[in-house]
Homo-oligomer: A and B are copies of this chain.
Amino acid sequence: MLEQLTILAPGLLGGSVARAAHARKLAKRIVIWARRPEVRDQLRAQPWCNQVFDTPEDAVRSACLVVLAAPVEKIVELARQIAPALPPGAIVTDVGSVKSELCRACTTAMPSHATFVGSHPMAGSQKTGWENSTENLFEGRTCFVTPLAGTPSAAIETVASFWREVGSNVATLTPDQHDEIVAHISHLPQAIATTLCSFLAQKKDAWRDFAGGGLRDTTRIAASDATMWIEIFQQNRDEILRALNEFQNELHGFSAALANREWDELRTRLESGKTYRDGFKS
């Protein structure tokens, strides 16, 4: 059990980390800092929060494990801000969706007696904010842990164990591998769902009311928070562009097969897609 778990700037993910750790008794104390005073007051009333501080520095002074739960473009800044206040042996992680630059910058920001190990729990919802957090958000979901080459293995194991204890399946990868993978399995689908919706938004309103389950499912994530996604597209721009270009080539091949009435080619694509999708667990 951790003496003190500190969560900085909790939203949906940070709040869920606190609730999950509380429910599973993973820390003696759960300490939080939030940017806005009114949120700090609300958090003080939560049963899964032992103490709320008015500055991030004060919140980390006695922390064993710190989770930086701020929006992805604020994480490095927050790591730099808390660095002088971190106690010896402190381990710092985050929940950011993009890892390469972030992990290098956060590692550089750390004092010699503290260690940064990046994390990215693949959990979330269209909903945002700590009010929507739940103690089971991470159960059965992948959590990437993304150490650099020089990261001490004890710190990696502390972070990986923590995510396993809240129910995640941990995958340990380099930050670069991580960014390539999520560009394909998370950011590309978001670009596609958004584009399908922004395209259909130009058509007659009534069409939407005819939508079946297929369109509903295919577009669900288009309802996600635009500000969060702008940050992800900014941070992982190069990998997403690569994935988008390759996907556009694949879609062009589909269109060409249809235009040329190459039914065998179209069948191969439909069957390849079906085989891939049938292989999803559960």
What residues on B are CB-neighbors of A269 within 8 Å?
A: 194-195, 198
CA distance A105 to B197 in the complex (A): 34
Give the dominant DSSP class at A's interface. helix
What residues on B are CB-neighbors of A258 within 8 Å?
A: 191, 233, 237, 240-241, 244
> Are A197 and B241 in contact (CB-based, < 8 A)?
no
For residue A26, CB closer than 8 A to chain B, the reply is no
Report A176-201 CB contacts with B as 1/0, cut-off 8 Å: 00000100111011111111111111
CA distance A213 to B270 in the complex (A): 22
CA distance A271 to B171 in the complex (A): 32
For residue A53, CB closer than 8 A to chain B, the reply is no
A189's nearest neighbour on chain B, judged by CB, is B218
> Are B198 and A184 in contact (CB-based, < 8 A)?
no
Report A246-282 CB contacts with B as 1/0, cut-off 8 Å: 1110111011001101010011011111111111110
> Are B122 and A201 in contact (CB-based, < 8 A)?
no
Interface size class of A (residues with CB under 8 A): 35 or more
What residues on B are CB-neighbors of A272 within 8 Å?
A: 197-198, 201
CA distance A281 to B269 in the complex (A): 32
> Are A190 and B214 in contact (CB-based, < 8 A)?
yes
What residues on B are CB-neighbors of A255 within 8 Å?
A: 241, 244-245, 248
For residue A123, CB closer than 8 A to chain B, the reply is yes
CA distance A251 to B258 in the complex (A): 19
> Are A144 and B226 in contact (CB-based, < 8 A)?
no
What residues on B are CB-neighbors of A134 within 8 Å?
A: none
A272's nearest neighbour on chain B, judged by CB, is B198
Tell me which of A62-70, A81-89, A147-155, A204-212 binds B: A204-212
> Are B189 and A247 in contact (CB-based, < 8 A)?
no
> Are A246 and B199 in contact (CB-based, < 8 A)?
yes
CA distance A266 to B236 in the complex (A): 14
For residue A222, CB closer than 8 A to chain B, the reply is yes
Selected A-B contacts with CB under 8 Å, 6 pairs: A185-B200, A201-B276, A217-B217, A226-B267, A241-B255, A244-B258
Residues of A within 8 A of B (CB): 122-124, 141-142, 144, 171, 181, 184-186, 188-201, 203, 207-226, 229-230, 233-234, 237, 240-241, 244-248, 250-252, 254-255, 258-259, 261, 263, 266-267, 269-281
What would 4 more interface pairs be, CB under 8 Å, given A194-B273, A197-B277, A199-B250?
A185-B207, A189-B196, A189-B215, A201-B273
